[in-house]
Amino acid sequence: MKIRNLLIGGALGAALVYFLDPEQGRGRRARLQDQFGARLRDGQRSLERTARRLRDSAQGAVAQLESASPGEPEDDLTILSRVESVLFGMPGFPKRSVNAEVVQGGLTLRGEVMTEEEARAVVEAASRVRGVVAVESLLHLPGQEAPNKAPSRRVR
């Protein structure tokens, strides 16, 4: 513990001597401030670029989803593609454990989700997709039977 404190104190002392040197300290402090500002500006630009890219891709996805004319009947594959785009874009969406199927505009969701809130969020997001006429949720929690399996097991 004493050695660590000695090393930390020595490093702080050396840094103070380096930056408070009467002859070159002012230039070193100015250079450090310039470098810190440059890194900060680079990070800010990168963050803005990422935010712009995310916003633009979201606007593009919305534009694609809204681009089909509302008067034409849409085929099930188009609706399924829209549903998958919306659902797979949700943060934390369980892609591997939820399946979607569209038949004549009716969407059926099957699979396992971690919480009831997650199931409600998935159904709500899917029901807002243009072209989806109805949503049947067969989602269930881990360890529970799927809703469509329970009636068939009771008959046996």
The domains of the chain are located at 2-49, 72-152
- The average pLDDT across 70-95 equals 81
**Residue in the structure block whose two tokens are 């694609």:** 64
Which tokens belong to 51? 């935010």
Residue of 151, 96, 106 lying closest to 129 (CA atoms): 106
Kindly report, residue by residue over 115-139, the tens digit of the pLDDT. 899 889 889 988 888 889 999 999 9
pLDDT of residue 147: 76
- 72-152: CATH topology is Histidine-containing Protein; Chain: A; (3.30.1340)
110 burial via Cβ count (<10 Å: 0-12, 13-18, 19+): middle
Alpha-carbon distance of 107 to 79, in angstroms, equals 9
26 within 8 A of 19, measured Cβ to Cβ: no
Kindly report, residue by residue over 35-69, the tens digit of the pLDDT. 999 999 999 999 999 999 999 888 887 777 666 55
Comparison of pLDDT for 91 and 150, the residue scoring more:
91
Alpha-carbon distance of 16 to 62, in angstroms, equals 55
97 within 8 A of 111, measured Cβ to Cβ: yes
122 within 8 A of 150, measured Cβ to Cβ: no
Residue 114, phi-psi category: left (phi > 0), alpha (psi -120 to 50), beta (remainder): alpha
Amino acid code (one letter) for 65: L
Alpha-carbon distances of 68 from 40, 71, 112, rounded to whole Å = 43, 9, 32
Q: Rounded to 5 degrees, what are φ and ψ at 119?
A: -65, -45
